[in-house]
Every structure is written in structure tokens, then in C-alpha cells.
């Protein structure tokens, strides 16, 4: 069966069907919209994860759809003497924009401003990337506010001046639980607290289906003179941990690519 038919078949699913498919295929909920989202939105995101598995993923999907009793879409029959109508193909994958235009939003959002809380975490070695990421998306807010969206970015520097009777890291963790999107950046090491924040975000997602979690690893040259074996081991151990969790991370070569890749994720979530 062609990929298009599989995708059309998936679009016939109800919310309960999609929940069952997610469980049967053991898909990572961290990459999927919550159960309160429209079924079509959930189906499109599920399809992206299935595509990553190739032919095996299509076979698994077909088996799951049959097991939960979703009827396959009817194929059009060609009428003799008349050319077969060509139906436009749905494009489940979101195409990458070649430049960096303002994020598109439905016109219906005009007049209402929705604040999206983003928690940005990384070790000190990626401060420059963190600063550039923060600045770029704050600059987008002037345009986004007119379209109904406002990005509120929190990072550990925001909490340094706060007086607290509790451990400062506890305040970070509480902010992680309260955010809509959790973004973590890694290079040569994970950092004890950054990994703790990831665990807090994942635990919160399992309870409430938020925050959405995005993990980025930077590709770059490492100076062997300054690299520490302990740090590199922590990085590889964390990647293995993500693999066991079924969490897909994203790699980036430079900060421009980081901004582009995360902007694409925002497009998928809110456009």
C-alpha cells in the first residue's frame, strides 16, 4: 500500500484510535501534541515519527490500524472513457523555510495574545548560542504579538537575583514544570543540573502532556586540550539515556541553524 494511503488511513482515526496507536507503536509522547488537540493535528505528528521508521514503520502502522478496527480508505475506481481525477496529495511533512520570516499564525488569533513560556537550558559553554537564541526569538515578539502569540523565554540567569529560602535549582525546576516548551542545548557535556531539568520536564510531560521537549546537540570542533574525559562520558551516557527513552534529539552546526530548526518546530505547534 502506498504511503499516501497509509496517511489517509491514519487521518480516519478518532482521538481514542490515535492514543491506541501511540501505545502500540511505542511512540515518544514528548514529540506529540496532547490528547486535547484535534485528531488531524495529532495524526500529522504521529505520521512524522512513523516516516522515520521507513518501511518497517508503515508495516507497523498498518498492523495497528487493523488491530484497532479502523476501516481503510476506499480507493477511487477509474471510470471507463473518462480520465481519472487526480486528488491533491496531502503533505504530512512540514517543509523547511529557506529564510527566517515571521512565524505564521491563523488569522483567527488576531486580537488575542497567547503567552508561550519557553524554558531554555544549557551549560555555560553554550552561553553564546543561548544568548543568540534568546535575542532572536524576543525580536520576533513585536510581529508575533500582532498575530496572537507572545514568547516568554526563561533561562537560569533570570533567577540569579531572586532571594529564596529553597535551593535555587528548585526554583529552576518549578519554572520547568510551569513552561509550555522546554529547550535544552548540549555540546561537550550535559551538566548535572541541565540533565536534572530534562528529567523534571519529562516527568511533568508524562503527568500533564506539557511541556513539549526539544533537545539539541551542537556539532563543532572540540579542543582536545580543554576537553575532559568525564564531560565527554556524561554526554555519551545522556545520549544513550535518550535512546532508551525513545526521545529523538536534533543536531545543529551553528546558531543560525539552531534558530531555523526551532522556528520550524514552533510552526508545527502553533501555525
pLDDT digits (tens, 9 = 90+) for 203-247: 999 999 899 999 999 998 776 566 677 888 888 899 999 988 888
- Residue found by looking up cell 544568548 in the block: 131
How many H-runs (helices) and E-runs (strands) does the chain carry? Answer: 10, 5
Is the pLDDT confidence value at 145 over 70?
yes
Give the residue-averaged pLDDT of 148-173: 68
Say if pTM beats, i.e. exceeds, 0.75: no
Quick one: pLDDT at residue 11?
Answer: 81
Q: In sequence order, what are the residues at sequence separation of 6 or more whose Cβ sits closer than 8 angstroms to the Cβ of residue 17? A: 68, 70
Quick one: pLDDT at residue 224?
Answer: 59
Within a 10 A sphere around the Cβ of 22, how many other Cβ atoms?
A: 19
CA distance 240 to 243: 5
CA angle 64, 77, 9 (to 5 degrees): 20
Q: Which three cell numbers stand for residue 178?
A: 510551569
Is the pLDDT confidence value at 88 over 50?
no
Give the residue-averaged pLDDT of 178-183: 94
CA distance 64 to 17: 10
Report which of residues 239 and 191 the model is more confident about.
Answer: 239
With residue 182 as reference, give the H or E element that holds it.
strand 181-186
Is the pLDDT confidence value at 160 over 70?
no
Quick one: pLDDT at residue 256?
Answer: 94
Give the residue-averaged pLDDT of 104-131: 76
| Cross-sheet strand order for the sheet of 149-155 | 149-155, 114-122, 181-186, 212-218, 250-252
Give the residue-averaged pLDDT of 62-71: 89
Amino acid at each position: 500500500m502506498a504511503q499516501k494511503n497509509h496517511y489517509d488511513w491514519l487521518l480516519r482515526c478518532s482521538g481514542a484510535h490515535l492514543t491506541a496507536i501511540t501505545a502500540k507503536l511505542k511512540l515518544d509522547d514528548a514529540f506529540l501534541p496532547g490528547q486535547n488537540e484535534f485528531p488531524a493535528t495529532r495524526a500529522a505528528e504521529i505520521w512524522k515519527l512513523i516516516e522515520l521508521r521507513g518501511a518497517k514503520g508503515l508495516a507497523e502502522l498498518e498492523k495497528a490500524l487493523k488491530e484497532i478496527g479502523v476501516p481503510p480508505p476506499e480507493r477511487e475506481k477509474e471510470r471507463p472513457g473518462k480520465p481519472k481525477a487526480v486528488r491533491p496529495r496531502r503533505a504530512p511533512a512540514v517543509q523547511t523555510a529557506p529564510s527566517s520570516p515571521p512565524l505564521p499564525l491563523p488569522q483567527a488569533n488576531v486580537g488575542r495574545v497567547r503567552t508561550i513560556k519557553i524554558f531554555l537550558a544549557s551549560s555555560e559553554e553554550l552561553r553564546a548560542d543561548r544568548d543568540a537564541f534568546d535575542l532572536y526569538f524576543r525580536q520576533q515578539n513585536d510581529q508575533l504579538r500582532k498575530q496572537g502569540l507572545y514568547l516568554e523565554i526563561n533561562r537560569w540567569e533570570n533567577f540569579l537575583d531572586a532571594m529564596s529560602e529553597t535551593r535555587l535549582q528548585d526554583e529552576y525546576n518549578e519554572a520547568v514544570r510551569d513552561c509550555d516548551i522546554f529547550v535544552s542545548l548540549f555540546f561537550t557535556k550535559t551538566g548535572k543540573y541541565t540533565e536534572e531539568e530534562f528529567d523534571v520536564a519529562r516527568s511533568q510531560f508524562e503527568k500533564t502532556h506539557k511541556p513539549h521537549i526539544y533537545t539539541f546537540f551542537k556539532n563543532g570542533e572540540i579542543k582536545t586540550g580543554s576537553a575532559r574525559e568525564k564531560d565527554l562520558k556524561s554526554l555519551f551516557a545522556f545520549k544513550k539515556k535518550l535512546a532508551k527513552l525513545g526521545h529523538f534529539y536534533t543536531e545543529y552546526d551553528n546558531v543560525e541553524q539552531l534558530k531555523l530548526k526551532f522556528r520550524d518546530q514552533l510552526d508545527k505547534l502553533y501555525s
